[in-house]
Amino acid sequence: MSLLIFMAYTKLNFSKKVTRFDNYLSPITPACKTRELPQQLEHRHPTLYGDPHQPQGLVTTWTNALHPHALYFAGYVDPTSSNFTSISQQILTDVTQQALSGHHQSLITRDFAPQHPFHLWLTKHEFHLIRTTYLPQLTLTTTGLPDAHATVLSAAQVLANPKFCQQLSAWAYQDYAQTHLNNPVISQSPEAWQARIFRDQILEAPLALMVNEHLEAWLFSFADSPTSVAIAWPGERHSGQLDHLLPVILNWLQRHFHTLAGEFDTTDPLAMHLQSRLPFPPTAAYMTYQRQLPISNKRI
């Protein structure tokens, strides 16, 4: 039996080993988030595997209050290690046991493509791709979309109208839940979801398209920095309405920001349509893998 010594380190102890373990991550493409694992895991009390003086693997786990049914983890195993398979199996055993103990329904891990060897090993052990996310950026002066004659409300105007605000919050929550069926979102009231989605919304920015005094489409805008803005959570009540709202929002954003960022999931058809409407350059793919746990463990 190969030697497998695994132990949880305190933040201080792990800090002493960051530089040494980071050498193992150097072959990974810079696009991969795993390159940042030592710094990320330092704050999450990781478990190291292999010789404690020369660690060959590490993993950390965490939970997401918005998606409480899954246990999330990030891990890495040195692909040159003679114990690669054994350490990979031990990590999977450990995170599975932790998930079962916490009554979680699934395990989730994710990283940018191309996936490193440990993630590829997981795909042969009941982990399946459930979502690909694209995070492109665009210089706003290159959008070139023609303006449209449409009646729109700013975020501030929506918030000032309790009826519209509650409608929009409820619809946005329904859309989000529908695009996360593999990893269900926790049940939330329109008021709770309203607090979440409007938390960093630019109040002056156009938000909702009005047709005959009815909300028909919406797209949220969030300032990432004084020069960069992100769009998210697109929605529409009838097909094609978002296309009427998009030029109005973009023309407003171009007057206030230089760079536009987006987050587009393959589980959200409207988000993917939105991405196709804009001249975003090619971008890395952020891939999410999930393993369902035994059904007997699921909460009723």
3-state secondary structure of 60: strand
Contact 272, 280 (CB under 8 A): no
- What's the rounded Cα separation, in Å, for the pair 295 and 293? 6
Q: How far apart are CA 29 and CA 44, in angstroms?
A: 23
Beta-bridged to residue 112, according to DSSP, are 286
What are the structure tokens assigned to 179, written together? 């695009």
What is the rounded CA–CA span in Å between residue 193 and residue 179? Answer: 16
The residue among 268, 291, 266, 264 whose CA lies nearest residue 280 is 264
H-only helix segments in the chain: 11-15, 18-25, 37-41, 84-101, 117-122, 155-159, 162-178, 190-197, 241-254, 269-277
Beta pairing partners, 269: none
Phi, psi values for residue 295, rounded to 5°: -65, -25
Q: What is the Cα–Cα distance from 273 to 240, expressed in whole angstroms?
A: 10
10-residue mean pLDDT profile of the chain (300 residues): values are 33 44 61 67 76 83 94 92 95 96 96 90 97 93 67 96 94 95 92 90 96 95 94 94 93 93 95 93 92 65
pLDDT at 43: 67
3-state secondary structure of 152: strand
In whole angstroms, how far apart are CA 64 and each of 16, 58, 68, 194? 28, 20, 6, 19
| C-alpha pair distances (Å), 131 with each of 180, 264, 279 | 9, 10, 22
pLDDT of residue 29: 63
Whole-prediction pTM: 0.85
Give 201's DSSP letter: B
d(CA 209, CA 153): 7
Q: Say which amino acid occupies 231.
A: I
The single-letter code of the amino acid at 26 is: S
The span from the CA of 111 to the CA of 119, in Å, is 9
* Alpha-carbon torsion (205, 207, 211, 215), positive or negative: negative
* Token couple for 186: 């926790």
pLDDT the model gives residue 18: 47
Using DSSP bridges, classify how beta strands 137-139 and 285-292 pair: parallel, antiparallel or unpaired. Answer: unpaired
